[in-house]
A and B are shown apart, each in its own frame.
Chain A
Amino acid sequence: MTARIGVVTFPGSLDDRDTQRAIRVAGAEPVALWHKDKDLKQVDAVVLCGGFSYGDYLRAGAIARFSPVMDTVIDQAKAGLPVLGICNGFQILTEAHLLPGGMLGNDHLHFICRDQKLRVENADTAWTTDYEAGQEIHIPLKNMDGRYVADRYTLDKLEAEGRVAFRYLDVNPNGSLNDIAGITNEAGNVVGLMPHPEHAVESLIGTGRTDGLPFFTSILKKLVNA
């Protein structure tokens, strides 16, 4: 038996097919989910993928957050459903207040696309157990609105509780506070990050490494062993 992992497609999603492929490469079964459909088709986990849902109008992720599928995702995430938000998916998770803080335009006002070095800070979440805490990885990063911000209280709380899951190394590419690339919720089932692990699962393409694959093998192991 394998796990069924849903990937939501919104109007303007870009990486839904790549994400489905990464899930398949890891050995799980990808399930396409549609933004207008409240039904999650009984998946065991959900990935909100990258792109520009609803054109990023208003704020990145702000309109997607109110789509029918998100009603169910929000309810089930609060009940423990594993949810991973990548890039635009991370923005949607902050807009939905499943993760604290918010995302704003890069401090240099340019789109960035680079091979980004990260440190895995938390290897205990549903999506990171196949990493080791402190491990350094290379994951592609591509975004306009990647600047993570939160008030001082929230930042201190995230740091104290070990909820910064990934941190930028060498270069802070967008002005994110505390070099934060990704965070987790308190329970560890909801994780969001700006870099794109689904673009780093096969050595042939992307960074030439498979540093993103453990996201998908971590969740598969968790679901199969559950």
Chain B
Amino acid sequence: MARVVVDVMLKPEILDPQGQAVQRALPRLGFEGISDVRQGKRFELEVDGPVDEAALARIHDLAESFLANTVIEDFTVRVEEVAEAAK
């Protein structure tokens, strides 16, 4: 049993006003020294069966066509092992 995590971020050249709003709030909260914040999305996909190359390829296609809009966003796909005890 494994979890696949897809992280989606706006492309670096695209303005992220939500991230900017978070960044501007930081000094008020006493956090100094953070020059930039960008906000993205994280998808956790619980996969039935083995996460083999074919399964990862399918998830990559899903991320590319649906979870991210690659005109405006970049994405990464990674496997995260889920410990049985933690379930």
Contact = CB atoms under 8 A, between A and B. Distances in A.
Contact of A109 (B14, B18, B69): B18
Nearest to A94: B71
B71 A66 contact: no
B15 A107 contact: yes
Nearest to B72: A102
B20 to A, nearest CB: 9
Contacts of B18: 105, 109
Contacts of A106: 17
B17 A109 contact: yes
B15 A109 contact: no
Contacts, number: 33
Contact of A151 (B13, B21, B67, B69): B13
Interface string A100-125: 11101111110000000000000000
Contacts of A95: 69
B62 to A, nearest CB: 11
B1 to A, nearest CB: 25
A150 interface: yes
Nearest 3 interchain pairs by C-beta = A102-B72, A102-B71, A107-B17
